[in-house]
Amino acid sequence: ILARDIMLSHYCGNRRYHAQHVSTAGSVQIIRQAKEKNPNISCETTQHHFSLTEDHLVEFNTNYKMNPPLRQQKDIDAIIEGLRDGTIDAIACDHAPHTQLEKDVEFDKAPYGIIGLETSFGLSYTNLVAKGYLSLNDLIFKMSINPRKILGLPEIHIKSNNPANLTIVNTNVEWIVNTDNFKSKSRNTPFEAMKLKGKVCWTINNNQITKSSL
């Protein structure tokens, strides 16, 4: 499907095309080659697709059920390389909340998706920056600047008399994921009790300051 859609965008005059939730080595390679011919192609991946493998599915825990599904280590390696060389433009949190009642069923009957908002930065910093794959500046581009470009939104500038729109992070702090501290009404995450490095501490949106509860 990915190759077909990219081919159609090419036939239509290199139209804009964005691929979401890239999760396989094959998809990364298709997009890498396509970008050589069409600069209007962009894509993103999610933090769980470079943090987890299909090996976690052996227990049939429905909090690991997502779409696209978890892949093999070779796919994670390809995704990380795609983030490093610019093939993958952005990281999306893929926040998909579900109630415990919805998830607490047989694996094949459970809905796809996990919540990702609260753990997105911590997982990305832990698995990409702390391990030396990306710089912090690279991560800022993947999580903030590039998504705005893809959506056609203006850049955010820190200037006197401009409304403040900032995310303040602490890259030194280590913390344990505890869903009791989440503001989301849902708790469907496979990262409960995981130790992460790097944490969002404050957000400022149109001069409104909010402290993180994590």
DSSP 3-state of 25: helix
Considering only CA atoms, give the Rg of the chain. Answer: 18
User: In angstroms, rounded to a whole number, what is the distance separating the alpha carbons of residues 30 and 192?
Assistant: 34
- For 59, the token pair is 């227990």
Backbone phi, psi, residue 204, to 5° = -125, 115
Pairing relationship of beta strands 195-205 and 165-176 according to DSSP bridges:
antiparallel
Of 134, 96, 142, whose CA–CA distance to 118 is shortest?
Answer: 96
CA–CA gap between residue 40 and residue 173 (Å, rounded): 38
Pick the catalytic residue from 94, 104, 138, 180: 94
**Catalytic site residue 94?**
yes
- DSSP strands (E only) in 16-135: 17-19, 41-46, 90-92
Residue 115 phi/psi, 5° resolution?
-80, 145
Residues with a catalytic annotation lie at 94
